[in-house]
Amino acid sequence: MAQINLERAQRPTRTQQDMGATSSGQMFRRRMPASARRQIFLRRFVLAPAREALVNETRTEIDDVEAMTTDVKALVKEMGADVVGIAAYDSRLLFTDAPERDHRFVIVFGMSMKYDCLIDVGPRSQGEVHRVYYTLDDMAVRLAQQIGSYGYSACAQPNMGDIPLPAYGYLAGLGELGKHGSLISPELGSSFRLVAVSTDLPLTIDGPKDHGIEDVCASCNICTRFCPGDAIKPEKKEANGVLRWHVDAPACLPWFYKMYGCKICLMVCPLNARGRLKAEFQKVAADIRQVKDAKGMVRLIEQRTGEEYTNLDGDGGDGDGEVSSTDR
């Protein structure tokens, strides 16, 4: 694994997005499943205001940091997370519009998406994304409030929070950044979502781990070949002072809007076959062999869903609040 060098890292600028600003964004909103709308409402107006923990004035002193770390991870798993790790809080890895907190650690955890929903590339897929995001946000708020009860500061960090979640997932040892710009987990492949809690509760840092994913991505071009917007580039690029795989967001967004959030790059990632999704990935592997490229995949999805994506209005504009540098 070529460890990501953060010596020259600069705070990233958040991609502010307005679905009403473009016709494709308006279309994306109109076609959003009712369940996703409800979950977005609850995340924004119920969970987001509770991000900051209420801190008990009487602090519980932590004598055994290792034991506390084990307990926190166990609690997160009990809540329903599939993976969890601890990263160091780094002020260079905050969005430019985010406040700098007096925190030392970031607890990052992820939850798998149902792969059969992911490969649907339609309303079911979009609904599954928001189900997982809502569940994760709820877990993060509960964990932050639990930490606050010990007398320590904590803040839930959802998808549109203070920090780029894939970067912290990498720093917490949960996986490595893939060529498609998202984190790839050795257990969950590309079919999962992340959330985090930043805190000053004393914890033990896991740090980045070599899962062998970087080497696979360097020699693999499947997500590049199957991206309908040609947004995934084969070479790394320096962004915010960090050399990493990079996704061209303006090229990605029109297809994101057309295809209910798309996710073809996550669907076709062969590293899905390494962990729990090995059996489920076989169907997608057969599709990859059959259709050969992005145009063929879009045609196959159109045939299966009865929807047309190729000729839909595809102006990208500034985008939508759920695809951003947070995910990329």
Task: Render pLDDT for 201-250 as a digit per residue (tens, 0 to 9).
Answer: 999 999 999 999 999 999 999 999 999 999 999 999 999 999 999 899 99
Please report which confidence band the pLDDT of residue 24 belongs to, taking 50, 70 and 90 as the band edges: confident
Q: At what angle do helices 278-291 and 294-305 cross, to 10 degrees?
A: 110
pLDDT, residue 21, reads: 66
| CB crowding 14-38: b at 16 or more within 10 Å, else e | bbebebeebebbebbeeebbebbee
Please report which confidence band the pLDDT of residue 325 belongs to, taking 50, 70 and 90 as the band edges: very low
pLDDT, residue 195, reads: 98
Neighbours of 257 (CB within 10 A): 30
pLDDT, residue 16, reads: 59
Q: Considering the chain, what percentage of its residues have pLDDT values greater than 90?
A: 84
Per-residue pLDDT reduced to its tens digit, 249-299: 999 999 999 999 999 999 999 999 998 999 999 999 999 999 999 999 999
- CA distance to 43, 169, 199, 202, 216, per residue, from 175 (Å): 26, 7, 22, 23, 13
Q: What residues contact 37, with CB distance under 8 A and at least 6 apart?
A: none
pLDDT at 3 over 80: no
Paired residues of 86 in beta bridges: 107
pLDDT at 326 over 80: no
Paired residues of 105 in beta bridges: 88, 199
Query: Hey, what's the torsion of the CAs at 272, 274, 278, 281, to 10 degrees?
Result: 30
Q: Quick one: three-class SS letters along the chain?
A: CCCCCCCCCCCCCCCCCCHHHCHHHHHHHHCCCHHHHHHHHHHHHHHHHHCECCCCCCCCCCCCHHHHHHHHHHHHHHHCCCEEEEEECCHHHCCCCCCCCCCCEEEEEEEECCHHHHCCCCHHHHHHHHHHHHHHHHHHHHHHHHHHHCCCCEEEECCCCCCCHHHHHHHCCCCEECCCCCEEECCCECCEEEEEEEECCCCCCCCCCCCCHHHHHHHCCHHHHHCCCCCECCCCEEECCEEECCECHHHHHHHHHHCCCCCHHHHHCHHHHCCCCHHHHHHHHHHHHHHCCHHHHHHHHHHHHCCCCCCCCCCCCCCCCCCCCCCC
Neighbours of 215 (CB within 10 A): 13
| CB crowding 301-325: b at 16 or more within 10 Å, else e | beeebebebeeeebebbebbbbbbb
pLDDT, residue 1, reads: 54
pLDDT at 317 over 60: no
pLDDT, residue 315, reads: 53
pLDDT at 174 over 80: yes
pLDDT, residue 19, reads: 62
Average pLDDT, stretch 160-174?
Answer: 97
pLDDT, residue 15, reads: 73
Per-residue pLDDT reduced to its tens digit, 107-128: 999 999 999 999 989 999 999 9
pLDDT, residue 231, reads: 97
Q: Considering the chain, what percentage of its residues have pLDDT values greater than 70?
A: 92
In this prediction the pTM is: 0.93
pLDDT at 150 over 60: yes
CA distance 304 to 228: 17
pLDDT, residue 22, reads: 75
pLDDT at 324 over 90: no
Per-residue pLDDT reduced to its tens digit, 30-60: 999 999 999 999 999 999 999 999 999 999 9
pLDDT at 320 over 80: no
CB of 43 closer than 8 Å to CB of 133: yes
Paired residues of 199 in beta bridges: 105, 154
pLDDT, residue 52, reads: 98
